Structure 1
Amino acid sequence: MKVKEAAESLQRVRELPSLRGVVLDLLGSLNDPQADVESVSAKVALDQAITAKLLRLANSPFFGLSRQITSVNDAAAIVGLRSLRNIAVAAALVDAFDPQRCPAFALRPFWRHAIGVALAAEAMAPLCELEAATAFSAGLLHDIGRLALALALPETYSELLQWQQEQDLPLLEAEQSRLGLTHCEAGAQLAEQWLLPPQLIRCIALHHQTELREPDLLVDLIHLADNLCHALDLGGDPGDAVPVFSLAGWQRLGLSNAQLLAVCKQTETRHESLCQALAIC
């Protein structure tokens, strides 16, 4: 029975509409060595909604710039390619999904947590000799399967979330019991449909696994960033719980306690201003 339920759930996920073309182009450019500020700026400028949020963020306390930014090109010249792409993707994703589809799914805590994980992953990446822009995108998208299930199966997922709270179960256990699959599997399916880079798909699929068959530092990084942000309660969800933590993954990353404390402080400092600029308050 669970096999049939899982197949039906995945089919509903496959039927979800794709992201706007500019967002997929920006995510795809993570693997493009030819991508530059000019080409990315041109893509962003084609989407008025993304441009508006980007300019609001560029003029927010998040960057603390001394002069008014009035164009995508100005923003790109000051914040750089990495920040431009990350901000544009975050702005587009926050607006891409209808919160009314599944009222029981708390969209505000979801995005506040995702932004926190993205910032924590971005801060830790250079310490682990990983690419910060990819880490930010992986952190932002790591739980996209939760959103996919809420949109594809709104009534079923609402009932699941209620049952999870009543039974005081971990989310993964509740999803596996009721749907026959987890948000990690659903998210990986959606990411494959969007033709996202393989490293992002792996992070989405494996970020809750405490033991990896093939160790992957980016997956370890997102796993740790996710746990840190749950512990810091950046989502502001009263029912939030810290998932099972992989000590082996932390050891592979080679981060000290002092470095983790610095990452937590930096993430908390930047988190609220980014959420406010993206209207996730």
Structure 2
Amino acid sequence: MIALDEVVRRIHDLPSLPAVVAELLASMAAEDQVDLHYLAGRIALDQALTAKTLRLANSSFYGMPSKVTSIQQAMTVLGLHSVRTLVTACGVIAAIPRAGNLDFDAFWRHAIATAVWARTLARHLRQSPETAFTAGLLHNLGTLVLATRFPDQYAAVQAWRRQHPDSGVAEAEQAVFGVDHTEAGSALSAYWKFPPAIQDAIRHQHDAGASGLALAVGLAHVLAGPPDHGPAQAEQAWLRLGFDDEQRRQTSEQCARMVNDMCQILV
């Protein structure tokens, strides 16, 4: 077993987020004081981040009628919320080193799919779409912490699941580590100074009584199709949403298109 404070200590060994991502996260708490021109200039200094952000801005994710060619234009056309979402996505994915025996491409594809689904479901659940996207993208960050900081123990988690095929990921993590990915992910999001609402959504996404942002992330996680969920769990999620067959079809097709576009750029 590994104590949560040891997990937190190892989290502090992870690289920091790019400075501009940290500034964008800080802007969530003081949006009336944000200098958009200054932030656009800060983002533009990172050429790789700018290139990916503009590719995302011009993808089907936003369906812009004309091409966005600069961060300043993206700020004007899409707004701070959307640009912050895109830059955060690019920055977080680039910040985590690929170590251990985790399938990183599969991990990020599912994270992006969950983010897209969370954003799509957010308005129906009366949540901020952009905040829901960010929370969805980060929902399994704890898995990255456990897999990259404790690779031997994480291999034991995978072995434990093979021996207990009816178990869930969190159950296996608790058996091996004594903590699961929601606790580790919430701790990492606190270290990276993500807003409390996102920290709480990561921690409580699988709770039976989840509501608000945590509910949006939890339902998105299921509908995005992780390997440990089947048709029964997806049906329960649809019933919770109250979507009819046509709404289900349209939402699924829309999300599939956006996930494909985003994965081509980010993964």
- Work out whether the TM-score is over 0.5: yes
Tell me the distance in 2 between the aligned counterparts of 1:141 and 1:28: 17
Deviations 1:232-279 (Å, cap 9, x if unpaired)? x5xxxxxx121895999878x76433544433222112110111122x
**Equivalent position of 2:90 in the other structure:** 91
Match of 1:241 among 218, 228, 251: 228
TM-score scaled by length of structure 2: 0.86
**Equivalent position of 2:129 in the other structure:** 132
Tell me the distance in 1 between the aligned counterparts of 2:36 and 2:238: 34
RMSD: 2.8
In structure 2, what residue type is equivalent to 1:227? Answer: V
Deviations 1:36-87 (Å, cap 9, x if unpaired)? 6434423322322211211233344555556554321233333333321111
**Equivalent position of 2:140 in the other structure:** 143
Does the alignment pair 1:273 with 2:264?
no
Say if 2:25 and 2:193, in contact at 8 Å, map to a contact too: no
In structure 2, what residue type is equivalent to 1:133? Answer: E
**Equivalent position of 2:189 in the other structure:** 191
Identity %: 33
Tell me the distance in 2 between the aligned counterparts of 1:37 and 1:129: 26
**Equivalent position of 2:219 in the other structure:** 224
Shift in alpha-carbon separation, 1:276–1:247, aligned structure 2, 3 A: closer
Match of 1:264 among 248, 252, 266: 252
Deviations 1:106-133 (Å, cap 9, x if unpaired)? 1111111111111111111122222111
Alignment of 1:60-209 (within 5 A): 60=59, 62-63=61-62, 65=64, 68-99=67-98, 101-102=99-100, 104-168=101-165, 169-209=167-207
Say if 1:36 and 1:81, in contact at 8 Å, map to a contact too: no
Shift in alpha-carbon separation, 1:262–1:205, aligned structure 2, 3 A: same
Say if 2:223 and 2:237, in contact at 8 Å, map to a contact too: no
Runs of 4+ more than 6 Å apart:
246-251
Tell me the distance in 1 between the aligned counterparts of 2:213 and 2:60: 29
Alignment of 1:10-21 (within 5 A): 10-21=8-19
CA shift at 1:211, angstroms? 2.9
Gapped runs of 5+ residues in structure 1? Answer: 234-239
Gapped runs of 5+ residues in structure 2? Answer: none
Tell me the distance in 1 between the aligned counterparts of 2:217 and 2:170: 17
